Structure 1
Amino acid sequence: MKFLLTEWPPLFARGCAGVIAAMAIACIAACLGQSLHVPRAQIIRLVVSAFINVFAWMGFSTLSMRWLHAGQAALLVYTMPVWATLLAWPLLGKRPSATSLGGLALCIGGVGLLFGGHELALGVDKLPGVLFALGAAILFALGTVAVAPLALPPLTSLAWQLALGCAPMLMYGLLVEKPDFGAISPAGIGVMIYMTIVPMAVCYLTWFAALRRLPPATASVATLLTPVIGVGAAALALGEPLGGREAAAIGMTLAGIALAMRKG
């Protein structure tokens, strides 16, 4: 996504990938005999779920990369399991333990280390990116904890959530960002194809499948490898820094998240 931002504006790119994925999944659902009809009782929950799980998660995390390195954005966005643990207290009555709170402190310390050193002076410049990334994490955690899986067939649910969550991004991109359609390179087209198939389709489908089978906090554990992959991939593909400070920040953040997820 960070690479694609050099060729196409962020919300247009995400919205385009999501809408294409939604149409493809809807066609697959129809071929498999899954009805695309949404009962009236499910419409409000569907809209709320689409806003939290798709529009906020994909849109805000994408916008954050205008100000942040891809690795920094990944570390902030994937503090989501910590927020899910904390939100489960007021919403589900599951009080976090001292171990969970200690993990949160360790996680915040890791994020602070990531922004420390010479980059600390740029903190104000990066504040919008930080807010977008944390907003994506907190809202997605809220959806994980508070919004029960929809009573719809899996592919139908995913198709509608992608369509409702990504269509506003696509429209905003067309009307405001005004993309240059000829600016995308063959490599950019490859990124778009990957983003359509993997993050928008496969990853969302498996995530919702996990939520149908596991408690929200347990399902969140699966996301812990993502910031490691994000920082490593950004270093290899984009030449972003990966030194001792970044490695220590990764270690502290992931250790904090893992500690926060432990029981007892």
Structure 2
Amino acid sequence: MDRARLWGIAFLLVTAAGWALNWPTIKFLLPVWPALFSRGVAGVTASILLGLLAVNRGESLRVPAGAWPQVLLAAFTSVFAWMGFATLSLNWISVAEAALLVYSMPVWAMLLAWPLRGERPGRRSLVALALALAGVILLLSGQNGASGRDQLLGVAFALAAALLFAWGTVVNRKPLPLPPLAQTAWVVGVGCAPMIVLGLLFEHPRLDALTGAAAASLAYMTLVPMGVCYLSWFAALRRLPSSTATIAMLLVPLLGTLAAAAMLGDPFGLREGGALALTLAGVALALRGRAHVPTSRSRDPGET
């Protein structure tokens, strides 16, 4: 194996580990700071830092006038909905449940491409859909009674995150006319800014509550998943095929689930393990089937 490929794999592992650990970090922070506000603050701060880094690297931050609708659509589907709704879901469901539902996105993208773009799913796609649905059904089979009804709200937010992100990948396939870091800075910043506004209006965060471990968690959310991991992701893509890198990101929900079980005591038994295996197998098949199709998100699998 050549050195460039080895470095690419190393960068992928850094990316996957950083994004995976963000799941239990968010779950830990939620009792102290509310979901939308904490995610919004972390995202806007990270976007400013990424913008400064882009300028330092000689990238232009200027967005062509005709590209703003594309930027707004990407910000809504891949940041506000994907990151915001996924974070909200953690108020009611475990990391294993949220990660499984959110990372089922490629399967829904494959399904939505049929009515929206006339791309009829083939046999492999139908098998992928069946596996993913079996995983979701197995996951939800453990919900019953009042607790189960409460968890349905979390399930709804997680599925909404996956479906809206999937819709965005189908309808917004033209690449954004921006360099990678500048694109990430704009999309993350524009998508996260409304979260701060909504958080101030409806969540009423207490600034004095952010101390100690909670402050360290927010710093991690800001610097590692949306800073270090994006840099390592772009570095990996310079050395590996994008299809390989994207499929490798299935490590994120797996590692995130295991980390949450170890760090937070989240439940992870046969039902969760079986559901995760079924769903990720379906997602892997869906990704392989769509590897040749370029999308506007081909350079970013969606940090959560």
Which of 70, 74, 77 is 1:52 aligned to?
77
Q: Tell me which residue corresponds to 2:269.
A: 243
Q: CA deviation at 1:113?
A: 1.5
Q: Percent identity?
A: 55
CA distance in 1 between partners of 2:251 and 2:144 (Å)? 25
Report the equivalent of 2:115: 90
Contact 2:94 2:267 in 1 (8 A): no
Matched, 1:131 2:156: yes
Please state which structure has a larger fraction of its residues in helix: 1
Report how far residue 212 of structure 1 moved.
Answer: 11
Q: Distance in 1 between matches of 2:177 and 2:280?
A: 33
Contact 1:50 1:161 in 2 (8 A): yes
**TM-score (normalizing by structure 2):** 0.78
**Residue equivalent to 1:201:** 227
2:67–2:176 CA contact under 8 A, matched in 1 = yes
Partner of 2:184: 158
Once the two structures are superposed, what CA deviation does each residue of 1:194-232 show, in whole Å capped at 9, x if it has no partner?
Answer: 211233234456668999999997765233222211221
Determine the C-alpha separation between the residues in 1 that align with 2:116 and 2:236: 20
2:3 is matched with none
Q: CA deviation digits over 1:40-98, x for unaligned, max 9?
A: 11111111111111111111101111111111101100101111222233344432112
**How far has the Cα of 1:192 moved from its partner?**
1.2
Deviation at 1:118, TM superposition (A): 5.8
Deviation at 1:191, TM superposition (A): 1.5
Task: Return the offset for 1:106.
Answer: 1.8
Greater mean alpha carbon deviation, residues 195-204 or residues 228-237? 195-204
Deviations 1:9-29 (A, max 9, x none): 000000000010011111111
Question: Which residue pairs with 1:142 in the alignment?
Answer: 167
In structure 1, distance between residues paired with 2:34 and 2:226: 17
C-alpha separation in 2, matches of 1:174 and 1:134: 25
Amino acid at match of 1:229: L
Match in the other structure for 2:257:
231
Deviations 1:143-194 (A, max 9, x none): 2233222001222211111111111101221232121112123221221122
TM norm structure 1 = 0.89
1:173 to 187, 193, 199: 199
Distance 1:84 1:239 in 2: 32
Which residue is 2:15 aligned to? none
- Which of 75, 81, 98 lines up with 2:106 in the alignment? 81
- Answer yes or no: is the 8 Å Cα contact 1:158–1:205 preserved in 2: no
Cα distance, 1:115 vs structure 2: 2.3
* Unmatched 5+ stretches in structure 2: 1-25, 291-304
Runs of 5+ consecutive residues of structure 1 not aligned to the other structure: none
- Rounded Cα–Cα distance in structure 2 between residues aligned with 1:205 and 1:228: 22
The answer to whether the 8 Å contact 2:143/2:151 transfers is no
